Structure 1
Amino acid sequence: MSSIVLRALVLALLGFVLAGCAVPPSSEPRREARVEGRVELAGPAVGNAYLFLFAPDEAPPDKRGEPKYLAAVSEVRLTAGDSRFGFSGVGPDVYRLWGFLDANGDADLSVDVLAQPGAGDWVPESSVELNVQPGQTLPVDISLSRRVRRPPPAFQVVEQSEEGVVTLTDSATAIASFTVRSEGFGLLRGDAPAFYLRLADANGDGTPDDVNGDGVADLWPQFFLRFVPRPGQTVPLDSQGRPAQVLVPLLPNATPFLGSLQGDPSKEIAAVSLQLFVVPLAQAIIEEPGKGRVVTTLGAIPVGEYELWAVNDEGGFWFVPNALGRRTGEPVSGQDLRFRVVHAGGADAGTGSP
């Protein structure tokens, strides 16, 4: 997994991009290129369309990287039949084009966890690879043909602490768990808040996946802790010198739901809350050219700060702490909760509960 999240862009830029302009960061005008085209809609022209250029290994729906360029087409223009978009000042490089139609109106590009499609929005089947040459005007269209069924898997942790920190240890034998509850916070449209549980079946053969071979079928949504290195902390690097993502897997207690799922990946169950068990190991994940995703188990769980992530089968995500918890006006309760791993037996070591 590359740079994990679709980070928010400055809100002041939206007035420009909704008029069809893009965000040009390049400082080499003679080498700048332009990417332009039309948005093809499978549904009604309701909502603003947002388009992004990503690095090749950071584009949704499989990855959640930081976009290099942003453009948009307003609902007014879409309704009038004008679906043209353009990215100006694009540096020559390889990119992937992706975007979505915010049909339900709950996307907010200034908030990290809300800068994504939700229930009822339209997305492409996949991102489009572009090889942008210096000074080129590259034409490309994008079809928003798949409708998103579910809202992002928003949640809050049930066990809150006065200090606002959940403390875990790096022990390889400690058993720790906590409970997450699905919440919409009045910000997400669509179905009532719930975790929509499904057995994973990546190749669609009707047989549940068991990627790690532990005899337990993999389940959506997936949860993990993501290490956030502080200055001076290091993580493994890939062959191009890019840092790996270091994750600590979390295992949902699926026992109450397995009977209803009946081993059938086509079945889905809505759960309001889930108990998550911390798997006492850390994995470094990198993307290597020609190899794809390479997962390496580390000798120990790195000590430091973490984010708690949930990802659903449509690519929707949520993580804590997030920008909602840091709002200066009306912060959303529980969204600033932090996660910290300390050395087992240390003075500040906890038992896994806040």
Structure 2
Amino acid sequence: MSSISLRALAVALGAVLAGCSEPPTELRREARVEGHVRLAGPARGDAYLFLFAPDEAPPEKRGVPRHVAAVSEVRLASGDARFRFSEVGPDVYRLWGFLDANGDADLTVDVLAQPGAGDWVPESSVELNVQPGQVLPVDLGLSRRVKRPLPAFQVVDQAEGGVVELTDSATEIVSFTVKSEGSGVLRGDAPRFFVRLADAEGDGTPDDVNGDGVFDLWPQFFLRFVPRPGQTVPLDNRGRPAQVIVPLLPNATPFLASLGGDASREVAVESLQLFVIPSAQSIIEEPGKGRVVTTLGAVPVGEYELWALNDEGGFWFVPNGLGRRTVDPLPGQALRFRVVHASADAGTGSP
């Protein structure tokens, strides 16, 4: 579940936000994708558009876009909603984007390069089959408004040295507490965790995917393995590395009475206690099968990120770009997580 990392693409936005200039003649051998943004709400904020590989586009997936374009608020307000992707190689893509109505998106910061509460997004991405030299017209409708703020957080008690050390023990029970925290970078209402029972089918019956007799909850939390050079993970049938995660279980006891087994209810809370499930899983997307989850024999040692996902696809993880900024870094967003062997002479436990 890699983030929508747009740092390498942000430099290209300066010219795009200024307007759509005609590409030089020598570039017209490449294809172009162009069209209009169709807004369901007010023309307030900049619109960002992306071309993804077919299996990496939001809202179902997350990946790194191959092309980026934008339409500034000034142009949208004047009625000029045109966008253009130039020099597009022939391939299959998915077009997706969002309107940053609150002005708090930042494509140079990993966790801020996504829509949040009040922004407008399409119902789904649009598949495009781009042919050589083609000028492909396509519009993108931004018809759904995002309700949830991003699940931004920090760990309540920071670990000494900025690192939380856990072990690969299959028996040790560890927990820590996260607090919803906008860190001064998110606009609108204060961040909250909106706790609700999961109901993927929308049939009113709460989900229990693993059959353990405990209802699944939103938001979801997990530790995501970040392998270093030389560390291996399982591969899919195309040779791509699997995502390896360690699930975290929110302590839902304080909220179960309020939820009452009803998937339509939710409880807004400021903090959650998370229990580490001492088991690692590899996640692979296979054609025709969808997501394939395999339990690994051991929790890999190494570095991890702490992730939160909400039911609208919004995400947050620590450490992130806010903690790595050279100017005004946020220490609460720089916390690292490390798994060591249980026999190692290292500190363990919760921060």
Given that 2:28 and 2:87 are in contact with CA atoms closer than 8 Å, whether structure 1 keeps it comes out as no
Alignment of 1:273-288 (within 5 A): 273-288=271-286
Q: Report the counterpart of residue 154 of structure 1 in structure 2.
A: 152
Superposition deviation, residue 59 in structure 1 = 1.0
Superposition deviation, residue 190 in structure 1 = 2.2
Aligned-partner SS, 2:15:
helix
Task: Tell me the distance in 1 between the aligned counterparts of 2:280 and 2:129.
Answer: 36
Task: Tell me the distance in 1 between the aligned counterparts of 2:328 and 2:350.
Answer: 27
Q: TM-score, normalised by structure 2?
A: 0.95
**In the TM superposition, what whole-angstrom CA distance separates every residue of 1:303-342 from its partner, at most 9, and x where no partner exists?**
1000000010111110000011111111112111000001
Task: Tell me the distance in 2 between the aligned counterparts of 1:90 and 1:283.
Answer: 37
Given that 2:233 and 2:241 are in contact with CA atoms closer than 8 Å, whether structure 1 keeps it comes out as yes
Match of 2:172 among 167, 171, 174: 174
Task: Tell me the distance in 1 between the aligned counterparts of 2:274 and 2:208.
Answer: 18
Q: Report the counterpart of residue 270 of structure 1 in structure 2.
A: 268
1:184 aligned partner, one-letter code:
G
Q: Report the counterpart of residue 19 of structure 1 in structure 2.
A: 18
Q: Please, which runs of 5 or more residues in structure 1 have no aligned partner?
A: none
Distance of aligned partners of 1:264 and 1:127 in 2 relative to their CA distance in 1, 3 Å threshold: same
1:244 aligned partner, one-letter code:
A
Q: Report the counterpart of residue 343 of structure 1 in structure 2.
A: 341
Q: Report the counterpart of residue 54 of structure 2 in structure 1.
A: 56
1:112 aligned partner, one-letter code:
D
1:352 aligns with 2:345: no
Alignment of 1:108-257 (within 5 A): 108-257=106-255
1:82 aligns with 2:62: no
Could you say what the CA RMSD is over the residues aligned between the two structures, in angstroms?
1.7
Task: Tell me the distance in 2 between the aligned counterparts of 1:191 and 1:263.
Answer: 27
Task: Tell me the distance in 2 between the aligned counterparts of 1:138 and 1:30.
Answer: 12
1:353 aligned partner, one-letter code:
S
Given that 1:6 and 1:64 are in contact with CA atoms closer than 8 Å, whether structure 2 keeps it comes out as no
Task: Tell me the distance in 1 between the aligned counterparts of 2:30 and 2:289.
Answer: 32
1:16 aligned partner, one-letter code:
A
Superposition deviation, residue 192 in structure 1 = 1.8
Given that 1:150 and 1:191 are in contact with CA atoms closer than 8 Å, whether structure 2 keeps it comes out as no
Given that 1:39 and 1:83 are in contact with CA atoms closer than 8 Å, whether structure 2 keeps it comes out as yes
1:254 aligned partner, one-letter code:
A
Alignment of 1:18-37 (within 5 A): 18-20=17-19, 32-37=30-35
Q: Report the counterpart of residue 296 of structure 1 in structure 2.
A: 294
Superposition deviation, residue 9 in structure 1 = 3.6
Figure out how many residues of one structure are paired with residues of the other and give that number.
Answer: 348
Aligned-partner SS, 2:331:
coil
Task: Tell me the distance in 2 between the aligned counterparts of 1:233 and 1:62.
Answer: 28
Task: Tell me the distance in 1 between the aligned counterparts of 2:251 and 2:6.
Answer: 30
Superposition deviation, residue 92 in structure 1 = 1.4
Given that 1:206 and 1:265 are in contact with CA atoms closer than 8 Å, whether structure 2 keeps it comes out as yes
Q: Please, which runs of 5 or more residues in structure 2 have no aligned partner?
A: none
Task: Tell me the distance in 2 between the aligned counterparts of 1:287 and 1:41.
Answer: 33
Q: Report the counterpart of residue 105 of structure 1 in structure 2.
A: 103
Superposition deviation, residue 29 in structure 1 = 5.8
Task: Tell me the distance in 2 between the aligned counterparts of 1:4 and 1:156.
Answer: 18
Aligned-partner SS, 2:70:
strand
Q: TM-score, normalised by structure 1?
A: 0.95
Task: Tell me the distance in 1 between the aligned counterparts of 2:205 and 2:267.
Answer: 17
Aligned-partner SS, 1:38:
strand
Task: Tell me the distance in 2 between the aligned counterparts of 1:130 and 1:224.
Answer: 33
Given that 2:3 and 2:110 are in contact with CA atoms closer than 8 Å, whether structure 1 keeps it comes out as no
Given that 1:170 and 1:344 are in contact with CA atoms closer than 8 Å, whether structure 2 keeps it comes out as yes
Match of 1:42 among 17, 40, 43: 40
Given that 1:34 and 1:136 are in contact with CA atoms closer than 8 Å, whether structure 2 keeps it comes out as yes
Superposition deviation, residue 30 in structure 1 = 7.6
Given that 2:20 and 2:82 are in contact with CA atoms closer than 8 Å, whether structure 1 keeps it comes out as no
Aligned-partner SS, 1:113:
helix
Task: Tell me the distance in 1 between the aligned counterparts of 2:292 and 2:198.
Answer: 20
Task: Tell me the distance in 1 between the aligned counterparts of 2:133 and 2:295.
Answer: 44
**In the TM superposition, what whole-angstrom CA distance separates every residue of 1:127-168 from its partner, at most 9, and x where no partner exists?**
111111121111111110000112100000012122110000
